[in-house]
Structures are given as structure tokens and as C-alpha cells.
Structure 1
């Protein structure tokens, strides 16, 4: 049952982080009037989908990301050419469906040869029907049907490229921005759950107890207060307690412990741990805490954002200057593995980890790497400076190459993760 809960929490963390990111793109694109064709969580084969208000919401098999597909970003619908025979269905004197194939099986339609068509600007189609030419208005939400697939047309004013540089930049930046907001909120939730240290504390209490270590084999529980160690009063000096433990490897120690109103003694023998100096008993000492106020929560959340950001950029620096080996890098498999281990430590630690993951995703996506949000913002910056957009074909090639390189790196680290798991 615990394993099922850990798996559920791990998947939930990734689902929330990715969904919040993509929702940022989605919300600001819709706000700018852009037609959002698909809101997808995951990649690969489709598991579930439904359509509402012009957008198809899709859940896909591989939970390693997501995307929001906006009209006009890529070639997306089959072009209808003059001389082509099609069928149209009308409602209130406007074309609501354009059929490109299986014309003989279509009912309640008008079939004819296209003489002229514009489904981006003027929204009309001229059909030669049995020698008579008719001009029909095309509804701005008309559907094009071919090979069993329905695709809504996208008038020019509903396409991504028709919007101002500011609107497009906001639609792109909103994804990372939502990750930053989520990280700030999660850090705040963590602080509310854990509290903040009491000023001028008078005691040290037991925090976590490591399974299999000496502390787990004696009458010791999280929340117990350590009063004395070998007759030495500890007070609030956790460093003094740690020093005494380090100096007592393989030597029995006597501790005085306070649990509520009950005071008792235990005997515990620190052991040596490979790779560490001195004795260890397997506890994490904690100072007393109190509930944080709203102001303190906001302040400490901000500090957590700053310190975590510095740590993330330090990791990027080491990667750029080759201070990492391939074995040090982790892909989705390792991230899932680490998240699962943290989920076993409790909801508090998982909340903190989720905040870091959300912050990392936001920062990573803003890097000027082709195919990421940061690269798209760079191209928009060039457009703002030059006064005209970069050639879409050249931009697409850059993003394609960047995406291919990212996928190769992802395959390499995923292979390494799987190999490491197999070898144990």
C-alpha cells in the first residue's frame, strides 16, 4: 500500500508541475485571442482526450512534459487549392464544414469545384456548382474535415503570428512564470508545515530517525528532547551533542531524554559509517520551531527561492565547464526515482522537493537553448529590435535542431539511468 501511495505522489508531483507550466501558456494565449488547438500533458500515444471551447485536452502516455499547440505556430491544416473539388455544409448561410474527401458519402452538403478560397482573411469560398458560381461566407470557427480528422480553421487574427510581440512574448514567458509562482507557493506551504526556529531556544529535540541505525533500536522517538549526553548538559547546543557522538564511536553512551512529562535514560552506542568520520547514531537533531506568520512565510519563501536559484545556476556552471560526468547527470528516470525516495520521507519533504523541481523547470525553460521557451523569447527580442520577424523557416530549423539535440541528450541520460538501475 505504501508503494502505491509513493507512486501516486510521485506522478502527482510531475502532473501538477507540468500542468501549471502549460496552463500559463494556455491562459495567456487565450487571453490574447490565439486559437489553442491542444493542451497536452505528456508525450507519445494518447490515453484520453476531450474537446471543449475549441481546445482538445489530451493526456498522453509518457509523463515527461507537455505542450500547448497554438494556431499558426506550425503548418497545421491541408491547403485547399483552386480547381479542387470539395463539399461544404451551411448553417445560417455560412460554411461551417469543409469536406476534402469521401465526398460521395457526405449528406446535406453542397459539392463543387473551388474557384477561389480565403479562410484566413476575408473568409469566403467560391464554388462552381454544376456550372454556376456561388460565393459563400465561411464561419470563423468552421471545421475542415479530411481523413476522418476535424480541424478548426484559424483566421489570421486567431493565429500566434498575428499578435503583437508583447502578447506573444507573454504567452511564452507565462509557462516559466507559473512555475516560479508555484515554487514560491510550495516553499510557503513547506514553511507553514515545518515552522521556523524559535528565538533563543533552550533545548534540542530528535527530528528524523534513520532505519537500521542505533537510534532506531532504542526507546527514542521524533520529538524527544535530549537533555544530557554522558552527563553533559546539551541545552540548545546541537553541535555539542554531535561532537560527543562523533568522539564515541563503538562506545556506549548514556542519554537523558525528556518525552512530555516523562524523563528517562537510554544507552546507545554510535557506530562507524563507511565514508564518514567518527560515530553515528542515525538521528537528525532539530531546534524547537513555531508557526510562521504570513509575513515570515513570504520572507522565508523569497529566501528559499533565491538560495535554490543560486544552487541551480551553480549546477549549470559545473555542467558548462565540464565538472560533471555523464554518471552525474540524471534524466526523467532518475528524477522519478529521487522523487519516489523523497515521497517516502513525508509530505513535508516532498513539498519542498516539488518547489525545487518547479523552480528548476521554470529556469531551465528560460535558457536560450533552441526549442525551449528562452530561445523563442530571443527570436521575439530580435523581432522587436529589427522591426520585422525572423524568417519562420529559419527559426523552425533552429528549433528543430535544438529539439533533436535535447532528445539525444535525454536518450543518453535515460539509458544511463536505466543501466545504473539494472546494475543496482
Structure 2
């Protein structure tokens, strides 16, 4: 019971932080574009408590703490358009409404949410690097596993990795990340041996490992080990640079993994939903505050990326509509927008159901229920 409560508490904290920052991005830019914000809500459903600021925005904390939203003046639905496609307002009301803004301002407001998530991730990584240091291991081989892909390629103790398929390797963590994403495809590896550059071709071995949540994950393994992990101190500006670089790494890893799932080279069982996020939140919090912060930073990047997908209903879908509007000189028809919204809603719900089913399988809930009736 205590473990479950611990998981729920930290899951709520993680989701509330991520969504609040995302919505605050929309709110902050909207205010600067002159849009009136009627409601800023943390959570959904019945209001538990709140207050109204001097500019008329109702700040509220609601009963269901699984997200949040910002409602602009004049909004009637998720596409920010009135049901009949018209905007029946006075000139003064139109000036402070979301629909009455230019395409550029509406695009900026829509993009501000995902951008806020990326900035949050940079800030969290920055805080970790400047206080605790950055996890760092020199990309030098200490041992080569017998029968491994590294041994087959002729790698030796003391070899220093320089690049993998043209992407520079600054630490052993970089190398491990590149290899984990590989699904048995040959890669070109640049190394330094006895002070001289050398290029070898390696085909990582695809191996199934426990993902820490009762499921399996396919990763590529090279079969080399470093001397050990260190924490390298970073200065103020170095911390900003490496924090930004870390966000770029998370973007690259996520995009590559999703591309492999679409291409069929990686299983979709690795796609997780809210239950797995809750489980990870509890595990990381128990492992230490720094691990929990690292998880929030990674999830923030993924939330930003997800919302940039060109799917109607998401921020990326709004940006897609605004791009068409900018090219045509007028908005898309109300019927087209409504049709797009329905498709987007169906896609998002389907993805949520699929991810939740994966969670139930990977966390062995389905197996537990089936054993109750056998």
C-alpha cells in the first residue's frame, strides 16, 4: 500500500509539473500577444480551489490531477473556432480573442507549449550538471567480451572511440546510446589506436534485456566495457551547452526509436503509456532525487515532441492548419477542420489505448488477471 501511494504521489508530481509548464508556455506567449486568458487549470474536473488575478484569469486546481489546460477568450472547442465557423464579437472583444490574432501570433502561441517543455528539460539538466556534475566515462575500451561483436571486429583494450557513422563520440555514454538503438545494422566506427586513427566496421549483437518493468527490450550490444563512471564538473556556460546537447540527444534517441517502430525493426511493445510512466516515477524517486529529476527532464522532451506531431488536436496539428492558412491567405474550411479534429482525436485515443495495453502487459497486470481465472 505504501509503495503504491509513493508511486501515485510522484506520478502526480511529474505529470503536474510537465503539463503546467507546457500550458504556462501557451499562457505566457498568449498574454504577450494581447490574448485574454480566461482559465489556467492544473488538473481537470471540479475546481478544488483557485483565485482570479487582476487581469481576469481564473487560476484553479481541479480534482483530477492528470493534466491541465488553458482556455482563451472566445474558445469554443479544441480547434479554437466557434461551432459555426464565425467569430461573433465586437471589435474590442476580437482584439483580445485567440481567433482574432494573426497567423503568426497564433502559431507562436501554439508552439510555445512544446518549447516550454524543451526549456524545462534544459533547465533541469543544467541544474544537475552544475551541482552534481555530468555522468562521464572516457570512450576508451577497458575489456572486450569473448565472442562479442567487438572481438569479431578486432577491437582491443586501449582503443579510443572517436565517431560512430560520422557522429562524434565524446564519452562512453554516447557510444552506449548509439549502440543500444542499433538493431543489427553494420556501423562504421572510427577509433584511435596507439595514437593513429583507424576505421572498422562493427555489427552490434541484438540482445533482449529486462527493461526493469517486467518486460523485454531489444538493444544492440558491442561487447566492450569502460573503466568506470565518473561525474565531470561543468562550469556555468558549459552546463548550459551540455544540457542543451542532452536534450538534442533525447530528441535523436526518441525519433530514431519511433522511426524503427514504424519501419518494423523495433517492437512496439516498448511504447509506454501512463501506467508505465507512473511505475517509472516511483522507481526513480526511490532511486534518488537526481534520478527523478532526470526522468522529468526526459519526459518533458518527449511531451514536447509528441505535441509537435502534425496531428489535428495537438499543437503540431494547429501549426499545420496555420501553415495552410498562411499559404492560402484564409483559414481552412470549418468542415475540413472538424474532420481533421475527429481524425486527430481518433489517432490520439487509439495510441493511448495501445500504450495502456502495453503497460498492462509489460507490468504483468494482464498475466495476473488471467491467473485469477485459471
Q: TM-score, normalised by structure 2?
A: 0.66
Match of 2:16 in 1: 15
Partner secondary structure for residue 338 of structure 1: helix
Matched, 1:178 2:116: yes
Partner secondary structure for residue 287 of structure 2: coil
Measured in 1, the distance between the counterparts of 2:274 and 2:76 equals 27
Q: Is the 8 A contact 2:52 2:58 kept in 1?
A: yes
Match of 2:60 in 1: 58
Partner secondary structure for residue 344 of structure 1: helix
Measured in 1, the distance between the counterparts of 2:327 and 2:255 equals 28
Match of 2:339 in 1: 397
Q: CA deviation at 1:322?
A: 3.5
Matched, 1:30 2:31: yes
Measured in 2, the distance between the counterparts of 1:159 and 1:275 equals 52
- Out of 105, 130, 133, which is 1:167 matched to? 105
Residues 275 and 407 of structure 1: CA distance in aligned 2, closer, same or farther (over 3 Å): closer
Q: Which runs of 5+ in 2 are unaligned?
A: 147-207, 211-225, 369-374
Q: Is the 8 A contact 2:7 2:278 kept in 1?
A: no
Matched, 1:67 2:69: yes
The alignment of Structure 1 onto Structure 2 pairs a total of residues equal to 284
Structure number with the bigger relative contact order (C-alpha 8 A, sep ≥ 6) is 2
Partner secondary structure for residue 99 of structure 2: helix
Q: CA deviation at 1:362?
A: 0.8
Match of 2:283 in 1: 341
**Aligned counterparts, 1:142-291, within 5 A:** 155-196=93-134, 239-240=142-143, 286-291=228-233
Measured in 1, the distance between the counterparts of 2:63 and 2:347 equals 22
Match of 1:313 in 2: 255
Task: Write out per-residue CA displacement over residues 124-155 of structure 1, whole angstroms, 9 at most, x where no aligned residue.
Answer: xxxxxxxxxxxxxxxx7xxxxxxxxxxxxxx2
Q: CA deviation at 1:19?
A: 0.5
Task: Write out per-residue CA displacement over residues 80-110 of structure 1, whole angstroms, 9 at most, x where no aligned residue.
Answer: xxxxxxxxxxxxxxxxxxxxxxxxxxxxxxx
Q: Is the 8 A contact 1:312 1:360 kept in 2?
A: yes
Q: Which runs of 5+ in 1 are unaligned?
A: 80-117, 123-139, 141-154, 201-235, 245-273, 277-283
Measured in 1, the distance between the counterparts of 2:135 and 2:82 equals 63
Q: Is the 8 A contact 2:11 2:277 kept in 1?
A: no
Measured in 2, the distance between the counterparts of 1:66 and 1:290 equals 37
Q: Is the 8 A contact 1:193 1:348 kept in 2?
A: no
Measured in 1, the distance between the counterparts of 2:56 and 2:318 equals 25
Q: Is the 8 A contact 1:169 1:380 kept in 2?
A: yes
Measured in 2, the distance between the counterparts of 1:354 and 1:416 equals 21
Measured in 2, the distance between the counterparts of 1:352 and 1:183 equals 9
Q: Is the 8 A contact 2:10 2:278 kept in 1?
A: no
Compare 388-397 and 373-382 and name the one that shifted more.
388-397
- Out of 121, 127, 133, which is 2:90 matched to? 121
Measured in 2, the distance between the counterparts of 1:296 and 1:190 equals 12
Residues 314 and 63 of structure 1: CA distance in aligned 2, closer, same or farther (over 3 Å): farther
Please list every run of at least 4 consecutive aligned residues from structure 1 whose deviation after the TM superposition is greater than 6 angstroms: 75-79, 197-200
- Out of 321, 341, 350, which is 1:408 matched to? 350
Q: Is the 8 A contact 1:198 1:288 kept in 2?
A: yes
Q: CA deviation at 1:239?
A: 3.1
